[in-house]
A = this chain, B = another copy of it.
Protein backbone atom coordinates (compact mmCIF):
# COMPACT_ATOMS: atom_id res chain seq x y z
CA UNK A 1 0.00 0.00 0.00
CA UNK A 2 1.37 3.40 -0.95
CA UNK A 3 2.01 5.81 1.92
CA UNK A 4 -0.37 8.78 2.12
CA UNK A 5 0.92 11.97 0.54
CA UNK A 6 1.82 14.40 3.33
CA UNK A 7 2.38 18.14 3.61
CA UNK A 8 6.12 17.47 3.77
CA UNK A 9 6.06 15.74 0.38
CA UNK A 10 4.13 18.41 -1.47
CA UNK A 11 5.29 21.67 0.10
CA UNK A 12 3.27 24.73 1.02
CA UNK A 13 2.60 26.31 -2.41
CA UNK A 14 1.40 23.04 -3.99
CA UNK A 15 -0.90 22.26 -1.06
CA UNK A 16 -2.42 25.75 -1.16
CA UNK A 17 -3.03 25.38 -4.91
CA UNK A 18 -4.95 22.15 -4.29
CA UNK A 19 -6.98 23.72 -1.49
CA UNK A 20 -7.92 26.76 -3.59
CA UNK A 21 -9.41 24.57 -6.30
CA UNK A 22 -12.06 23.47 -3.80
CA UNK A 23 -13.40 26.96 -3.14
CA UNK A 24 -16.61 28.18 -4.73
CA UNK A 25 -16.17 30.90 -7.35
CA UNK A 26 -16.07 34.24 -5.66
CA UNK A 27 -18.51 37.12 -5.81
CA UNK A 28 -18.05 40.42 -7.71
CA UNK A 29 -17.01 42.32 -4.57
CA UNK A 30 -13.81 40.24 -4.42
CA UNK A 31 -11.22 42.17 -6.46
CA UNK A 32 -8.21 40.00 -5.59
CA UNK A 33 -8.63 36.56 -4.03
CA UNK A 34 -6.03 34.15 -2.69
CA UNK A 35 -2.45 34.35 -3.98
CA UNK A 36 -1.26 37.89 -3.29
CA UNK A 37 0.09 39.38 -0.05
CA UNK A 38 -3.49 40.35 0.87
CA UNK A 39 -6.99 39.83 -0.45
CA UNK A 40 -8.66 42.96 -1.86
CA UNK A 41 -12.41 43.39 -1.44
CA UNK A 42 -14.92 46.14 -2.05
CA UNK A 43 -17.09 47.27 0.87
CA UNK A 44 -20.45 48.71 -0.22
CA UNK A 45 -20.28 52.46 -0.74
CA UNK A 46 -16.63 52.90 0.21
CA UNK A 47 -14.31 54.74 -2.19
CA UNK A 48 -11.36 52.73 -0.81
CA UNK A 49 -10.47 49.09 -1.30
CA UNK A 50 -10.36 46.96 1.85
CA UNK A 51 -7.32 44.70 2.33
CA UNK A 52 -7.59 41.50 4.39
CA UNK A 53 -4.66 39.52 5.76
CA UNK A 54 -4.29 36.62 8.19
CA UNK A 55 -0.89 35.62 9.50
CA UNK A 56 0.26 33.36 12.34
CA UNK A 57 3.40 32.84 14.37
CA UNK A 58 3.89 29.35 15.77
CA UNK A 59 6.17 28.32 18.64
CA UNK A 60 9.03 26.20 17.31
CA UNK A 61 8.52 27.50 13.75
CA UNK A 62 8.56 31.31 13.87
CA UNK A 63 10.04 31.67 17.34
CA UNK A 64 11.74 29.37 19.81
CA UNK A 65 10.28 28.30 23.16
CA UNK A 66 11.73 30.56 25.83
CA UNK A 67 11.91 33.61 23.55
CA UNK A 68 10.91 36.95 25.08
CA UNK A 69 7.18 37.08 24.46
CA UNK A 70 7.08 40.84 23.91
CA UNK A 71 9.31 40.35 20.85
CA UNK A 72 7.04 37.55 19.64
CA UNK A 73 4.02 39.85 19.89
CA UNK A 74 5.83 42.61 18.01
CA UNK A 75 6.71 40.14 15.25
CA UNK A 76 3.20 38.71 15.02
CA UNK A 77 1.68 42.16 14.38
CA UNK A 78 4.50 43.42 12.14
CA UNK A 79 4.34 40.42 9.78
CA UNK A 80 0.76 41.32 8.92
CA UNK A 81 1.54 45.06 8.71
CA UNK A 82 4.29 44.18 6.21
CA UNK A 83 1.75 42.44 3.96
CA UNK A 84 -0.68 45.38 4.07
CA UNK A 85 2.23 47.70 3.26
CA UNK A 86 3.30 45.53 0.33
CA UNK A 87 -0.07 46.25 -1.33
CA UNK A 88 0.46 50.00 -0.89
CA UNK A 89 -2.12 50.16 1.92
CA UNK A 90 -2.34 51.34 5.50
CA UNK A 91 -3.35 48.94 8.32
CA UNK A 92 -6.60 49.66 10.17
CA UNK A 93 -8.18 47.03 12.44
CA UNK A 94 -6.81 43.82 13.94
CA UNK A 95 -8.19 40.75 15.65
CA UNK A 96 -5.71 38.64 17.61
CA UNK A 97 -6.20 34.99 18.50
CA UNK A 98 -3.91 33.15 20.88
CA UNK A 99 -3.95 29.40 21.48
CA UNK A 100 -1.80 28.49 24.45
CA UNK A 101 -1.32 25.53 26.76
CA UNK A 102 -3.29 25.58 30.04
CA UNK A 103 -0.08 25.86 32.07
CA UNK A 104 1.16 28.96 30.20
CA UNK A 105 1.95 31.67 32.78
CA UNK A 106 -0.43 34.62 32.47
CA UNK A 107 2.57 36.96 32.61
CA UNK A 108 3.83 35.46 29.33
CA UNK A 109 0.53 36.24 27.62
CA UNK A 110 0.62 39.76 29.02
CA UNK A 111 4.13 40.19 27.58
CA UNK A 112 2.93 38.87 24.20
CA UNK A 113 0.11 41.40 24.26
CA UNK A 114 2.47 44.23 25.26
CA UNK A 115 4.46 43.51 22.10
CA UNK A 116 1.30 43.37 19.98
CA UNK A 117 0.03 46.62 21.51
CA UNK A 118 3.34 48.41 20.96
CA UNK A 119 3.37 47.45 17.27
CA UNK A 120 -0.31 48.40 16.95
CA UNK A 121 0.40 51.87 18.39
CA UNK A 122 3.45 52.35 16.20
CA UNK A 123 1.63 51.55 12.95
CA UNK A 124 -1.82 53.00 13.64
CA UNK A 125 -3.68 49.71 14.16
CA UNK A 126 -6.75 49.38 16.42
CA UNK A 127 -6.95 45.94 18.03
CA UNK A 128 -10.72 45.39 18.12
CA UNK A 129 -11.04 41.83 19.38
CA UNK A 130 -9.89 38.29 19.12
CA UNK A 131 -9.92 35.13 21.09
CA UNK A 132 -7.85 33.37 23.72
CA UNK A 133 -8.26 29.62 23.77
CA UNK A 134 -6.38 26.58 24.82
CA UNK A 135 -4.32 24.20 22.78
CA UNK A 136 -2.59 21.01 23.75
CA UNK A 137 0.40 21.84 21.56
CA UNK A 138 2.64 24.74 20.66
CA UNK A 139 1.60 28.36 21.24
CA UNK A 140 0.01 29.91 18.12
CA UNK A 141 -0.69 33.64 17.77
CA UNK A 142 -2.71 34.68 14.71
CA UNK A 143 -3.26 38.26 13.60
CA UNK A 144 -6.13 39.17 11.30
CA UNK A 145 -5.53 42.63 9.89
CA UNK A 146 -7.62 44.87 7.66
CA UNK A 147 -6.20 47.71 5.64
CA UNK A 148 -7.31 50.42 3.27
CA UNK A 149 -5.91 51.57 -0.05
CA UNK A 150 -7.10 53.69 -2.95
CA UNK A 151 -7.87 51.31 -5.79
CA UNK A 152 -5.55 53.13 -8.18
CA UNK A 153 -2.62 52.78 -5.76
CA UNK A 154 -3.08 49.11 -4.90
CA UNK A 155 0.04 47.17 -5.95
CA UNK A 156 -0.24 43.49 -6.89
CA UNK A 157 2.36 40.80 -7.56
CA UNK A 158 0.91 40.29 -11.01
CA UNK A 159 1.54 43.72 -12.53
CA UNK A 160 5.14 43.14 -13.65
CA UNK A 161 6.05 43.28 -17.37
CA UNK A 162 9.08 42.02 -19.33
CA UNK A 163 11.85 44.60 -19.09
CA UNK A 164 10.80 45.92 -15.68
CA UNK A 165 13.69 46.32 -13.29
CA UNK A 166 13.55 44.32 -10.05
CA UNK A 167 14.49 46.11 -6.83
CA UNK A 168 14.70 45.16 -3.16
CA UNK A 169 14.77 47.47 -0.17
CA UNK A 170 17.26 47.06 2.66
CA UNK A 171 19.55 44.05 3.00
CA UNK A 172 18.76 40.35 3.09
CA UNK A 173 19.80 37.19 4.94
CA UNK A 174 20.58 36.14 8.49
CA UNK A 175 17.31 37.33 9.98
CA UNK A 176 16.84 34.28 12.21
CA UNK A 177 20.44 34.06 13.43
CA UNK A 178 20.68 37.77 14.21
CA UNK A 179 17.28 37.96 15.92
CA UNK A 180 16.22 40.63 13.41
CA UNK A 181 13.10 38.58 12.58
CA UNK A 182 11.77 39.51 16.04
CA UNK A 183 12.28 43.28 15.95
CA UNK A 184 12.18 44.24 12.27
CA UNK A 185 10.31 47.37 11.22
CA UNK A 186 7.88 46.78 8.36
CA UNK A 187 8.50 49.12 5.41
CA UNK A 188 5.15 50.88 5.81
CA UNK A 189 6.19 54.48 5.05
CA UNK A 190 8.44 53.38 2.21
CA UNK A 191 5.69 51.23 0.66
CA UNK A 192 3.05 53.97 0.90
CA UNK A 193 5.46 56.43 -0.70
CA UNK A 194 6.20 53.95 -3.52
CA UNK A 195 2.48 53.43 -4.12
CA UNK A 196 1.97 57.20 -4.34
CA UNK A 197 4.65 57.57 -7.02
CA UNK A 198 2.52 55.50 -9.43
CA UNK A 199 5.58 54.11 -11.16
CA UNK A 200 5.79 50.67 -9.52
CA UNK A 201 4.24 47.88 -11.62
CA UNK A 202 4.36 45.07 -9.01
CA UNK A 203 5.24 44.79 -5.33
CA UNK A 204 5.33 42.17 -2.55
CA UNK A 205 7.21 41.63 0.68
CA UNK A 206 10.17 39.26 0.89
CA UNK A 207 9.19 36.90 3.68
CA UNK A 208 10.37 33.51 2.41
CA UNK A 209 13.71 34.47 0.84
CA UNK A 210 14.43 35.74 -2.68
CA UNK A 211 14.63 32.15 -3.93
CA UNK A 212 10.94 31.65 -3.20
CA UNK A 213 9.57 35.17 -3.58
CA UNK A 214 11.16 36.32 -6.87
CA UNK A 215 9.67 33.28 -8.67
CA UNK A 216 6.28 34.03 -7.12
CA UNK A 217 6.27 37.55 -8.57
CA UNK A 218 7.55 36.32 -11.95
CA UNK A 219 4.93 33.58 -12.10
CA UNK A 220 2.10 35.93 -11.08
CA UNK A 221 3.24 38.41 -13.75
CA UNK A 222 3.64 35.72 -16.44
CA UNK A 223 7.31 36.58 -16.91
CA UNK A 224 10.74 35.00 -16.92
CA UNK A 225 13.28 36.59 -14.62
CA UNK A 226 16.98 37.35 -14.38
CA UNK A 227 18.72 37.97 -11.07
CA UNK A 228 22.37 38.98 -10.76
CA UNK A 229 23.62 37.31 -7.57
CA UNK A 230 26.48 39.80 -7.30
CA UNK A 231 24.00 42.66 -6.92
CA UNK A 232 21.91 41.15 -4.11
CA UNK A 233 22.35 43.36 -1.00
CA UNK A 234 23.27 41.10 1.92
CA UNK A 235 23.43 41.66 5.64
CA UNK A 236 26.84 41.45 7.36
CA UNK A 237 28.04 37.86 7.51
CA UNK A 238 25.59 36.77 4.81
CA UNK A 239 25.98 35.94 1.13
CA UNK A 240 23.58 35.36 -1.70
CA UNK A 241 22.83 31.86 -0.41
CA UNK A 242 21.41 33.31 2.81
CA UNK A 243 19.53 36.03 0.90
CA UNK A 244 17.91 33.35 -1.25
CA UNK A 245 17.19 30.84 1.52
CA UNK A 246 16.86 32.35 4.97
CA UNK A 247 13.55 34.21 4.69
CA UNK A 248 11.90 36.41 7.33
CA UNK A 249 13.50 39.59 5.94
CA UNK A 250 10.25 41.55 5.45
CA UNK A 251 11.84 43.83 2.89
CA UNK A 252 9.99 44.94 -0.26
CA UNK A 253 10.48 43.43 -3.73
CA UNK A 254 9.27 45.67 -6.55
CA UNK A 255 9.21 45.85 -10.32
CA UNK A 256 9.62 49.23 -12.04
CA UNK A 257 9.37 49.97 -15.79
CA UNK A 258 12.87 50.86 -17.05
CA UNK A 259 11.81 54.31 -18.27
CA UNK A 260 10.81 55.35 -14.75
CA UNK A 261 13.54 53.58 -12.81
CA UNK A 262 16.26 56.20 -12.66
CA UNK A 263 13.98 58.99 -11.47
CA UNK A 264 12.60 56.68 -8.80
CA UNK A 265 16.09 55.76 -7.61
CA UNK A 266 17.03 59.44 -7.29
CA UNK A 267 13.89 60.37 -5.37
CA UNK A 268 14.23 57.33 -3.11
CA UNK A 269 17.81 58.22 -2.16
CA UNK A 270 16.78 61.75 -1.28
CA UNK A 271 13.93 60.55 0.89
CA UNK A 272 15.08 57.27 2.47
CA UNK A 273 18.83 57.70 2.62
CA UNK A 274 19.24 55.11 5.39
CA UNK A 275 17.55 52.31 3.43
CA UNK A 276 19.17 51.11 0.20
CA UNK A 277 17.00 50.45 -2.86
CA UNK A 278 18.97 48.02 -4.99
CA UNK A 279 18.35 46.73 -8.48
CA UNK A 280 18.94 42.95 -8.40
CA UNK A 281 17.78 42.01 -11.90
CA UNK A 282 14.85 42.36 -14.23
CA UNK A 283 11.76 40.61 -15.50
CA UNK A 284 12.09 38.93 -18.92
CA UNK A 285 9.69 37.52 -21.49
CA UNK A 286 8.20 34.18 -20.42
CA UNK A 287 10.67 31.54 -21.58
CA UNK A 288 13.67 33.85 -21.30
CA UNK A 289 16.13 34.22 -18.42
CA UNK A 290 15.61 31.90 -15.51
CA UNK A 291 12.15 30.44 -15.41
CA UNK A 292 10.48 30.75 -12.01
CA UNK A 293 10.74 27.01 -11.42
CA UNK A 294 14.50 26.97 -12.01
CA UNK A 295 15.18 29.82 -9.65
CA UNK A 296 12.93 28.22 -7.10
CA UNK A 297 15.09 25.09 -7.10
CA UNK A 298 17.99 27.19 -5.88
CA UNK A 299 16.29 27.66 -2.54
CA UNK A 300 13.81 29.72 -0.66
CA UNK A 301 12.14 29.12 2.62
CA UNK A 302 9.32 26.61 2.41
CA UNK A 303 7.10 25.50 5.26
CA UNK A 304 6.70 21.73 5.60
CA UNK A 305 10.04 20.94 4.01
Q: Contacts A45-B47, A136-B138, A148-B44 known; A127 to B23 CB distance under 8 Å?
A: yes
Residues of B with C-beta under 8 A to A135: 58, 60-61, 137-138, 140
Chain A stretch 42-92: residues in CB contact (< 8 A) with chain B:
43-48, 50, 52-56, 58-61, 92
State whether the Cβ of A228 lies closer than 8 Å to any Cβ in chain B: no
Residues of B with C-beta under 8 A to A103: 6-8
Chain A stretch 105-155: residues in CB contact (< 8 A) with chain B:
105-107, 109-110, 113-114, 117, 120-121, 126-138, 140, 142, 144, 146, 148
Q: A63: shortest Cβ distance to chain B, in Å? A: 12
The chain A residues found within 8 Å of chain B, CB to CB, are 4-10, 12, 15-16, 18-19, 22-24, 26-27, 29-30, 32-36, 38-39, 41, 43-48, 50, 52-56, 58-61, 92-93, 95-97, 99-107, 109-110, 113-114, 117, 120-121, 126-138, 140, 142, 144, 146, 148, 303-304
Residues of B with C-beta under 8 A to A133: 12, 56, 58, 61, 303
In Å, the complex CA distance between A5 and B105 comes to 6
In Å, the complex CA distance between A95 and B19 comes to 13
- Is the CB–CB distance between B39 and A136 below 8 Å? no
Residue of B nearest to A12 (CB): B132
- Is the CB–CB distance between B24 and A120 below 8 Å? yes
- Is the CB–CB distance between A7 and B102 below 8 Å? yes
- Is the CB–CB distance between A58 and B99 below 8 Å? yes
